[in-house]
Chain A
Amino acid sequence: MSVRRLSWRTIVVLVGSVGSTWLSTSAFGQGAGADEAAVTIDGEYGYGLPPDVSVHGHEIDRLINVLHLFGFITLVGWTAFMGFCLVRYRQRPGRGATYKPRIKPVHIYFVVFIAVFELILDIGFSNPVLATAKQKLPTEKDRPIHVRVMAEQFAWNFRYAGPDGRFGRVGPQHVDQVMNPFGVDPDDPNGEDDIVSGELHAAVGRPVLCQLSSKDVIHSFSIPVMRVKQDVIPGMRIPMWFEAASPGTYEIACAQLCGNNHYTMKALLVIHDSEQAYEEWLASKAASELDDEEFDEDEFED
């Protein structure tokens, strides 16, 4: 019995040491694409999961870790059994195979164990996380930051409601690639103060509720450090939410092949350390947008 316990401990230590090696070597790979990045992305990135800066992401991480521990142990056990058979039952002169050897029903226990284990994972681990991600959207009580996300080949656009708290109507006929990426209806007063940004800004302590839509093809809105990802489908508006736990600048990626420059379709996520800092950014953005609009009107009058 003690031997068995010892081997278990050895396995755990082995996994741990391999894992920590991955983490410690994580800085080694950096550099190839770093020269063009004017912005520094916060957090340590390496071979394992990237940093988790969300409030709920640890639940997904836990599930992933449990699954991999289980997979690793199963595979080691399985391979060990095969290795044992290959050594022990190699064909040798004078000893044949046993026609139908009697076997204790270990394999039946094994299949039953897998069934129960998967049921527990599905109902106990996966479903609650899924419910949090998809069903328990933040309500007004949680004071979420509402963002409209519009994907297009090959950029992300973000729109905030502005001081009136209302989003302007949109329509594809109003779209202008540069001036009006969302196609906000110029006749809708709610849209006048909408703020459009190429970066997603939010604050620690406030959930972000995104409504995702796409202008052209299917994209996928992925924020690895928030452990969220959602396909963005043209013709649909799909909600997705997350809440940041710590401030910093992070990457947003497109995860679904969307055309030739799919790989360049990235955006920045800026998490402000306080609500105040976020509001200040919003105000400065609103002011600059106002300047732009006045400038346009001047141009039109000429």
Chain B
Amino acid sequence: MSNEADHHLGFWRKYVFSTDHKVIGIQYTITSLVFLLFGFSLLMLMRWQLAYPGREIPILGKFLSESIAPGGVMLPEFYNSLGAMHGTIMVFLGVVPLGVGGFGNYFMPLQIGAPDMAFPKLNMLSYWVYAVGGLIMMTGFFVPGGAANSGWTAYPPLADIATLGQTVWLIGMVFLITSSLFGSVNFIVTIVHLRARGLTMFRLPFFVWAQFVTAFLLLLAMPPLEAAGILQLLDRVAGTSFFMPEGLVISGVHQVGAGGGSPILWQHLFWFLGHPEVYVLLLPAMGIVAEVIPANTRKPLFGYKSIVYSVLFLGFMSFIVWAHHMFLTGMGTTMSTFFATTTMIISLPSVVILTALALSLYKGAIRLTVPMLFALAFLPMLGIGGLTGLPLGLPASDIYLHDTYYVIGHFHYVVAPGIVFGLFAGIYHWYPKVTGRKMNETLGRIHFVLSFVFMNMVFMPMFFQGMAGVSRRLYDQTVYTHGSAVQDLTVLSSWGAWCLGLAQIPFILNFFLSIWKGKAVDANPWQATTLEWAAPSPPPHGNFVTQPVVHRGPYEYSVPDRSDDFFPQHALAES
């Protein structure tokens, strides 16, 4: 780990099979951004079929194989593949690897003043298992019958009897889950053992707390899904029937061999991961926002301790709310009431955190930098996502809204304008640390405004579609009268999605051009207080020139009777 060793490493060991947390963080970031763009492109393709059902896809239609889109019109099976793969890619290959693998890997060790992760080789393994898992997922598109097409939730028996792509999906998932487990163990050990001297738990930046809780969620919630995935794999390839009940008649053929399993079991195992997974997506983004806001309001985060206790409580509660995804599976009212009540309870820590973040603006000196814009937009967007979760968390209103577009609108408000905005804030905020240069402000502002407008144009109509009763995952909603009545909303939403795609061009340009053309800045361009800004930009192998010692909490901005308006964690007190 010494600096000399660094210079003797060859290209492959230094940039490809590196054990340096920063290189791995960049690998994760780039890979997941590519997957996010790819997953989003699948969606833009789907939106054509939704807006103009049965019409030939312009330009791209000619290049698609006859087996998935004859005459350029996509088949329902291709549509279902796109839907399932969009969900899987965005969640498991995009947002989680970006928030945890990318930001967590790069900045968590820097923020705790550590030279690297506790297990650098395990860290490298985690990335490569993820990359292999991603590649396996992609091969699904090339197997007979196309990629997995039973939804990202893969409910059996449908998934048990689906085409070969589902097997590929399951194998891919096993890799991705294994990668997450490697990562989470590493994060926990690193945060517990490698903090700089003086950095007590209650002096940790909130981002580190968020990563800490996230790692526990991954560690405890992922194994049940891994087990479930292997069981489903056995159902498909080894003739078991863990999830297949007796007496099935599929396409008119009585399944004599199958029996004894329960389709509901899969749902329990899946959602036992699925709900904590929501917080795995959310917490890193929330952590980023909690870093960006104090740096740009020039005052401490409001209610730091309440936020930390809330996030711990949130992490714990997220394990006992899973069945609110299953209110309609015929569970008893006692069960429903229990899970509805825990769902109401888990909303409270979220309210506390969002309120504290919003109150942090009060009496600040607010700088509207690009990361701050994204962080500010994160709050009301996540607010909409949270508030629309309420009608879904109460079993009575869920009867009507379950499995409609309302659900799609709800969780996309959480993930897309919410979490993805938080992650964008992180990219703009920490880009100078990674490259030594700032991203372009003007392009950043254009990217923000367009993304904000078009995100809402995509997702707001979905609430009205859902209210009108339109089921989700429909290849063509105009077969229903209540669906064709709101078809114009679908068209609006589709145009929003395509424009949102165009709105990412300034970001992509900015991201690459700023590597060479960006304004060169010093180690602490935002005049922030946390430890990552004590390291040079970009930090060398081993991170810090002199090992920092921490003297105070993470957000000491505008401390009275000081000339500077920020007081870094490692700075010695002026005597």
Q: With an 8 A cutoff between CB atoms, is B352 at the interface?
A: yes
Q: With an 8 A cutoff between CB atoms, is B10 at the interface?
A: no
Indicate if the CB atoms of B468 and A229 lie closer than 8 Å: no
Which of chain A's residues have a CB closer than 8 A to the CB of B337?
Answer: 122, 127, 130
In angstroms, how far is the closest chain B Cβ from the Cβ of A149? Answer: 13
Segment touching B, from A9-17, A90-98, A275-283: A90-98
Which of chain A's residues have a CB closer than 8 A to the CB of B262?
Answer: 235
CA gap between A222 and B358 in the complex, in Å? 40
Which of chain B's residues have a CB closer than 8 A to the CB of A64?
Answer: 391, 397, 400-401, 467
In angstroms, how far is the closest chain A Cβ from the Cβ of B335? Answer: 10
**Residue total for B at the interface (Cβ-Cβ under 8 A):** 104
- Residue-wise interface mask of A (128-142) relative to B, using a CB-CB cutoff of 8 A (1 in contact, 0 not): 011101110000000
Indicate if the CB atoms of A114 and B362 lie closer than 8 Å: no
In angstroms, how far is the closest chain A Cβ from the Cβ of B236? Answer: 14
Which of chain A's residues have a CB closer than 8 A to the CB of B475?
Answer: 261-263
The 8 Å CB contact of A229, one of B402, B480, B482, is: B402
CA gap between A95 and B399 in the complex, in Å? 53
Known: A67-B391, A235-B245, A263-B475. A91 touches B365 (CB 8 A): yes
Which of chain A's residues have a CB closer than 8 A to the CB of B149?
Answer: 260
CA gap between A27 and B46 in the complex, in Å? 26
- Residue-wise interface mask of A (34-60) relative to B, using a CB-CB cutoff of 8 A (1 in contact, 0 not): 100100010001111110000000011
The 8 Å CB contact of A238, one of B76, B330, B387, B395, is: B330
Known: A135-B333, A229-B400. A74 touches B486 (CB 8 A): no
Indicate if the CB atoms of B340 and A220 lie closer than 8 Å: no
Indicate if the CB atoms of B249 and A256 lie closer than 8 Å: no
Q: With an 8 A cutoff between CB atoms, is A257 at the interface?
A: yes
Known: A78-B358, A216-B249. A230 touches B565 (CB 8 A): no
Indicate if the CB atoms of A114 and B351 lie closer than 8 Å: yes
Known: A96-B298, A126-B394. A220 touches B384 (CB 8 A): no
Which of chain B's residues have a CB closer than 8 A to the CB of A92?
Answer: 365
Known: A114-B348, A238-B330, A258-B158. A63 touches B464 (CB 8 A): no
The 8 Å CB contact of A97, one of B299, B376, B476, is: B299
Which of chain A's residues have a CB closer than 8 A to the CB of B351?
Answer: 110-111, 114
Indicate if the CB atoms of A85 and B362 lie closer than 8 Å: yes
Indicate if the CB atoms of A260 and B482 lie closer than 8 Å: no
Which of chain B's residues have a CB closer than 8 A to the CB of A257?
Answer: 80, 150-151, 155, 158, 472-473
In angstroms, how far is the closest chain B Cβ from the Cβ of A260? Answer: 4
Interface positions, chain A 123-181, Cβ under 8 Å from B, are 125-127, 129-131, 133-135, 152-153, 171-173, 175-177
In angstroms, how far is the closest chain A Cβ from the Cβ of B270? Answer: 13
Name the interface size band of chain A: 35 or more
CA gap between A118 and B350 in the complex, in Å? 14
Indicate if the CB atoms of A171 and B158 lie closer than 8 Å: no
Segment touching B, from A187-195, A198-206, A247-255, A285-293: A247-255
Indicate if the CB atoms of B479 and A218 lie closer than 8 Å: no
Segment touching A, from B190-198, B443-451, B505-513, B552-560: B552-560
Indicate if the CB atoms of A82 and B376 lie closer than 8 Å: yes
Segment touching A, from B166-174, B222-230, B250-258: B250-258
Indicate if the CB atoms of B328 and A215 lie closer than 8 Å: no
The 8 Å CB contact of A231, one of B329, B376, B478, is: B329
In angstroms, how far is the closest chain A Cβ from the Cβ of B377? Answer: 10
Indicate if the CB atoms of B251 and A153 lie closer than 8 Å: yes
Indicate if the CB atoms of A234 and B157 lie closer than 8 Å: yes
Known: A63-B394, A85-B366. A172 touches B484 (CB 8 A): no
- Residue-wise interface mask of B (89-127) relative to A, using a CB-CB cutoff of 8 A (1 in contact, 0 not): 000000000000000000000000000000000000000
Known: A101-B363, A107-B355, A262-B474. A41 touches B481 (CB 8 A): yes
The 8 Å CB contact of B486, one of A29, A37, A78, A110, is: A29
CA gap between A251 and B332 in the complex, in Å? 27
Q: With an 8 A cutoff between CB atoms, is A26 at the interface?
A: yes
Which of chain A's residues have a CB closer than 8 A to the CB of B397?
Answer: 60, 63-64, 67, 126
In angstroms, how far is the closest chain B Cβ from the Cβ of A143? Answer: 24
> Can you list 18 A-B contacts with CB-CB less than 8 angstroms, sorted by A residue number?
A31-B484, A32-B487, A34-B484, A59-B396, A78-B379, A97-B565, A114-B351, A122-B394, A127-B333, A130-B336, A130-B337, A175-B252, A218-B158, A255-B472, A260-B75, A263-B474, A263-B475, A263-B477
Closest 6 CB pairs of A and B: A235-B245, A33-B478, A224-B469, A129-B396, A45-B485, A85-B361
Interfacial residues, chain B to chain A (CB-CB below 8 A) = 53, 75-77, 80, 149-151, 155, 157-158, 161, 245-252, 254-255, 262-264, 297-300, 302-303, 328-330, 332-333, 336-337, 340-341, 344, 347-348, 351-352, 355-356, 358-359, 361-368, 376, 379-380, 383-384, 387-388, 390-391, 394-397, 399-404, 464, 467-469, 471-489, 557-560, 565
